[in-house]
Amino acid sequence: KAGVTQTPRYLIKTRGQQVTLSCSPISGHRSVSWYQQTPGQGLQFLFEYFSETQRNKGNFPGRFSGRQFSNSRSEMNVSTLELGDSALYLCASSQGRGRTGELFFGEGSRLTVL
C-alpha cells in the first residue's frame, strides 16, 4: 500500500507570494491533517479535513487555508507569505474515526521564504 505522498518536497518563495502544497493520503483514509514544524515552535496543528469538511482547526491566521477533494487528496494554501512561514509542512492521514487512531505521516514539504 502506498504511503502518504506530499508534493513538492522542497520549494523557495519570496515574501508576499502564495504557495499551495499537496497531500495524497493512504488509500482508504478519509482524514487528512496538516502540521507545521519549525525549530522554535516544534510541531503545531494547522487543520484537519474529513470527507471534504474541515472538522478541526489550529491557531493560525486566515492566510493558512486548506481543502479536501472527493478522492481525499488535500491541499493547503498559504497566502501573502512571511519569513516566519518557513517551515516543514507535514501531512498525516488516518481512517478518521474509531479507536484505531494511528496517523501516518508523509515526508513533508520544506518551504523556504526569502
| Nearer CB in complex with other proteins: 9/15 | 9
Site size for other proteins, by CB under 8 A? 28
| Nearer CB in complex with other proteins: 66/96 | 96
Q: By CB under 8 A, is residue 11 in contact with other proteins?
A: no
| Nearer CB in complex with other proteins: 14/56 | 56
CA distance 33 to 43: 12
CA distance 25 to 89: 15
For the chain, counts of helices (H) and of strands (E) = 0, 11
With CA atoms as reference, report the closest residue to 64 among 13, 21, 12. Answer: 21
Candidates 20-28, 51-59, 67-75, 78-86; binding stretch for other proteins (CB under 8 A): 51-59
With CA atoms as reference, report the closest residue to 20 among 82, 109, 92. Answer: 109
Q: By CB under 8 A, is residue 56 in contact with other proteins?
A: yes
CA distance 5 to 29: 13
| Nearer CB in complex with other proteins: 1/17 | 1
List interacting residues with other proteins (CB under 8 A): 3, 31, 33, 35, 42-43, 45, 48, 50, 55-56, 58, 88, 90, 92, 94, 96-99, 101-108
